[in-house]
Structure 1
Amino acid sequence: MAAQPFTVADVMTKKVVAVRVGAEFKEIVATMARWAVSAVPVVEGERGGRVVGVVSEADLLPKEEFRDHRIGLVEQLGHLAETAKAGSRTAGDLMTSPAVTVGPEASLPQAARIMAAHHVKRLPVVDEQGTIQGIVSRVDLLKVFLRSDEDLAAEIRQGVVERWFPLSRNQVEVRVEDGVVTLSGDVQDSSLIPMAARLAQAVEGVVDVRSELTATAAT
């Protein structure tokens, strides 16, 4: 049986840097600087807390952007969100809400699509009650590409070759180098060759697939 697909829970960072709703501006900046992060979840409640928003560097910058001049009416109308945040002090007022989150059971492609759709670099990971469980970043989603070539080859042989080519499995070779898979050998059913390449490509951590499979003509 093929390995189960990786989920967000497999790659997320479980130690989360977060701030409370009432956290003051300087506390938020200090937290970001201390932990070298560009955004932090905002939580309320006990036991880890329910995620209610996210404060990013973009939410904090209006304080500096509008520091050295008075904000006129026209500018206020054109930049309502930014000028409002320029006068805010706490995480509850500064945060972007509701937070864009993901569940721990979500697949890595699902998490990647959410990030792309919302133009964010990281997602708080929450359970069904909205309680924070971890955080997943773009870098975390790339961890699957750290799988060893041997691990990838073993999964492809078990989940693809042995399952779909049971009669000719001993004639199929699986080579993996730097995440690039090469399938070679003779199989009996030519119609399965494109599918084998697609299934190998779908294995998490595979960079590319080269198919050199050929079909033995029936006699």
Structure 2
Amino acid sequence: MVSTPYTVGDVMTRTVVAVERDARFKEIVGAMKQWNVTAVPVVEGEGRVAGVVSEADLLPKEEFHDTEPELIDQMRHPDDAAKAGAVRAGDLMTTPAITIRADATLPQAARIMARQRIKRLPVVDADGTLQGILSRADLLKVFLRPDDDLAAEVRREVIDRLFTVSRHGVRVDVTDGVVTLTGTVRDATLVPVAERLARAVEGVVEVNCRLTSIREP
């Protein structure tokens, strides 16, 4: 019922720093510092994402800087031991890359980041071509929506649709992203539904539902 247009494509960063497979170690570190990012996609061909090089992929170089990886380290962490001796993106990157489509919802993106414990997601099209990058900071952009916009959407998409008869008896106030619903409605069974749908509006921080009903369910 709630019409919230926000998708990954709405908040992603479209200017993306990426490297090719043959990019050298120092070039990758320089790109990360210049653009203040913690990971860069590795692209090939016409921009298809082949993998991602993150700070974690580069750290084994320093970890084993003054010594060769011992046998026990090679057995327990073979990838780290191999990356300690790598100098190009194609050998350093984590593959396959964890990516997302621009039409994915923000909750879907947040769940992927949390499950995979990553900070950034390359955004790709159906062919796997890089379209943008999504960071944790990008996901938080929706919480910058003006209170008036949030109030208008809650009114239009929740209150007016649920309470077609008693909608004029409901007041919607939003302060710092916190929605407060007050007033009297005819059907008590719809009160928890209104609270849930209002909370689902992108950018809403919390909902205080103080609606009362003319009759009990």
TM-score computed with the length of structure 1 as normaliser: 0.95
Q: Which amino acid aligns with 2:73?
A: E
Contact 1:165 1:187 in 2 (8 A): yes
Q: How many residues align?
A: 216
Rounded to whole Å, the distance in 1 between the matches of 2:121 and 2:60 is 23
Residues 4 and 207 of structure 1, relative CA distance in 2, 3 Å threshold: closer
Cα distance in 2 for residues equivalent to 1:201 and 1:193: 13
Number of the residue aligned with 1:41: 41
Letter in 1 for 2:180: T
**Quick check: 1:5–1:107 contact (8 Å CA) kept in 2?**
no
**What amino acid sits opposite 1:20 in the alignment?**
E
Alignment pair present for 1:173 and 2:171 = yes
Give the C-alpha shift of residue 144 in structure 1: 0.6
Kindly indicate whether residue 19 of structure 2 is the aligned counterpart of residue 19 of structure 1.
Answer: yes
Task: Report the equivalent of 1:57.
Answer: 55
- Distance in 1 (CA, whole Å) between partners of 2:215 and 2:59 is 68
Sequence identity percentage: 62
Secondary structure at the residue paired with 1:61?
helix
Counting only pairs closer than 5 Å after superposition, residues 108-123 of structure 1 correspond to structure 2 as 108-123=106-121
Contact 1:21 1:42 in 2 (8 A): yes
SS at the partner of 1:216?
strand
Equivalent residue of 1:173, what SS? strand
How far did residue 106 of structure 1 move? 0.2
Instruction: Give the aligned residue type for 2:29.
Output: V
Cα-to-partner distance string for 1:152-198 (whole Å, 9 max, x where unaligned): 00001011111111111111100000011110101111111110111
Alignment-derived partner of residue 213 in structure 2: 215
The equivalent of 1:10 in structure 2 is: 10
What is the DSSP-based 3-state SS (H/G/I as helix, E as strand, rest coil) of the residue aligned with 1:133? strand
Secondary structure of 1:74's aligned partner: helix
- Which contiguous aligned blocks of 4+ residues in structure 1 show a shift greater than 3 angstroms? 1-5
Matched, 1:28 2:28: yes
Q: Give the drift of 1:3.
A: 3.3
Query: RMSD in angstroms over aligned alpha carbons?
Result: 1.3
- Partners of 1:26 and 1:125 in 2: how far apart? 25
Superposition TM-score, scaled by structure 2 size: 0.96
Corresponding residue number in structure 2 for 1:74: 72
For residue 187 of structure 1, what is the aligned residue in structure 2? Answer: 185
Q: Deviations over 1:45-92 (max 9, x none)?
A: 13xx00000001111111111111233323322221111001111000
